[in-house]
């Protein structure tokens, strides 16, 4: 990835996920490390997306902010109770003409990376999906699905397609934070063929049903690496498919977040209008854990234990630093038997709202633009 043009000083301090004392095992995930990030740079913050790559033995994170900037940095070293300094890089997200985005075009909310390194960014306010095939310094290409997003997600609000991830080499899955009328019981989900962007970006619509209870909304997604063979002596391997980051805000209480799983077999077996159900792996509860406005999630294979993955969460301070912080958490996913209890079902059952029936058969394509 090309270096971003602006160097940004970071102030990094280690923090714990526990408010007081708690187990490092949170559901099926193990908490490893946490940091609070800050900077004297006024444009730093608003980090709502995250992807991770490993280069030269180091984990690098890239985020697109809801203020129209790219931001990249390495995983911090442990700093204990003392604050340390680190350097990050920053630069503007550019539109199709090569100009920095501005006004109602800045609100980047989802970030995914294709197998060839191509980046995809979803935006709220002016809903759209852009690709960056030549890297973060290059102009964007509009994939031409804005009408589909306006018809599927809540248009003109902060409830657009926040959670996006590649499900294979050709298709990107995007989940709306809420439906077109603001409903959150069954969130519309688009499966977009991003390889057709030179002519027409094709898509089909499904539904995402958050597991266990309503109130949680999807804010990011990340594809798990393909399941690796188990280590010597082990007969299990970690889950394949997608992880979905979900957030719940409870007035006068705070924010809860959880990480759920969608099995790879879910979309392979799905038909148009299918309802995808998730299974909860871990939940951060504001009464027990240090929770902020987590909106970004990245997944990368563990370098020393290839049958495990590391999961990174980042919170969005919304540029209101007196109330919210930029937190970065690192988890590791323990070994787990691949499951098949999450399945696509064109006819919603088991408590899923009947609204899923309205999704059946919805598909289309739209001209791709610059």
The residues that bridge with 279 in the sheet, in sequence order, are 261
Q: Which of 312, 337, 302, 217 is nearest to 17 (CA)?
A: 312
Report the chain's mean pLDDT, rounded to a whole number. Answer: 81
Mean pLDDT for the stretch of residues 302-319: 87
Q: Indicate the pairing of strand 275-277 with strand 200-209.
A: parallel
Sign of CA dihedral 110, 113, 114, 119: positive
The answer to whether the beta carbons of residues 4 and 72 sit under 8 Å apart is yes
In the predicted model, what is the mean pLDDT of residues 178-189?
Answer: 70
Mean pLDDT of all residues in 85-107: 95
- Alpha carbon distance 216, 180 (integer Å): 17
What's the rounded mean pLDDT across residues 237-263? 85
pLDDT at residue 121 greater than cutoff 60: yes
**Where is pLDDT greater, at 370 or 177?**
177
Helix, strand or coil for residue 5?
coil
CA-based diameter of the chain, in Å?
Answer: 56
Q: What is the pLDDT of residue 80?
A: 62
pLDDT at 93: 98
Buried b (16+ CB within 10 A) or exposed e, 269-295: ebeebbbbbbbbbbbbbbebbbbbbbb
d(CA 142, CA 197): 8
CATH architecture of 6-229+237-333: 6 Propeller (2.120)
User: Given this model, what pLDDT does residue 265 score?
Assistant: 63
Neighbours of 133 (CB within 10 A): 15
- This prediction's pTM: 0.86
What is the pLDDT, as a whole number, of residue 3? 77
| pLDDT for residue 357 | 28
Measure the CA–CA gap between 366 and 201, rounded to whole angstroms. 6
Please report which confidence band the pLDDT of residue 1 belongs to, taking 50, 70 and 90 as the band edges.
Answer: low
Residues 113, 208, 266, 277: is their CA dihedral positive or negative?
Answer: positive
Percentage of residues in the chain having pLDDT higher than 70: 75
Q: Which residue has the tokens 């971003």?
A: 4
């Amino acid at each position: 990835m090309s270096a971003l043009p602006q160097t940004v000083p970071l102030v990094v301090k280690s923090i714990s996920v526990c408010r007081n004392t708690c187990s490092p095992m949170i559901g099926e995930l193990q908490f490893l490390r946490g940091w609070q990030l800050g900077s004297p740079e006024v444009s730093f913050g608003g980090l709502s997306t995250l992807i991770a790559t490993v280069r030269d033995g180091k984990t690098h994170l890239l985020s697109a902010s809801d203020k129209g900037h790219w931001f990249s940095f390495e995983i911090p070293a442990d700093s204990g109770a003392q604050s340390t300094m680190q350097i990050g890089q920053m630069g503007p997200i550019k539109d199709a003409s090569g100009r920095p985005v501005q006004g109602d075009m800045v609100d980047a909310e989802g970030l995914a990376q294709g197998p060839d390194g191509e980046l995809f960014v979803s935006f709220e306010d002016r809903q759209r999906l852009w690709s960056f095939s030549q890297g973060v310094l290059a102009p964007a290409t509009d994939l031409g699905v804005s009408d589909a997003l306006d018809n599927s997600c809540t248009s003109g609000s902060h409830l657009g397609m926040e959670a996006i991830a590649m499900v294979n080499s050709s298709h990107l899955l995007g989940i709306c934070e809420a439906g077109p009328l603001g409903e959150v019981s069954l969130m519309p989900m688009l499966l977009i063929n991003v390889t057709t962007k030179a002519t027409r970006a094709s898509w089909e619509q499904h539904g995402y049903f958050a597991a266990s209870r309503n109130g949680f909304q999807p804010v990011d997604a990340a594809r798990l690496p393909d399941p690796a063979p188990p280590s010597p002596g082990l007969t299990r391997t970690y889950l394949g498919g997608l992880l979905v980051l979900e957030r719940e805000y409870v007035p006068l209480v705070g924010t809860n977040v959880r990480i759920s799983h969608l099995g790879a077999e879910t979309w392979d077996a799905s038909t148009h209008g299918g309802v995808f159900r998730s299974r909860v792996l871990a939940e951060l509860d504001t009464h027990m854990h240090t929770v902020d406005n987590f909106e970004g999630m990245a997944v990368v294979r563990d370098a020393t234990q290839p049958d495990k993955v590391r999961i990174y969460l980042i919170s969005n301070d919304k540029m209101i630093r007196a109330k919210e912080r930029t937190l970065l958490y690192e988890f590791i996913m323990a070994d787990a038997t691949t499951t098949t209890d999450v399945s696509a079902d064109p006819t919603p059952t088991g408590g899923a709202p009947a609204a899923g029936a309205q999704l059946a058969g919805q598909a289309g394509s739209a001209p791709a633009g610059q």
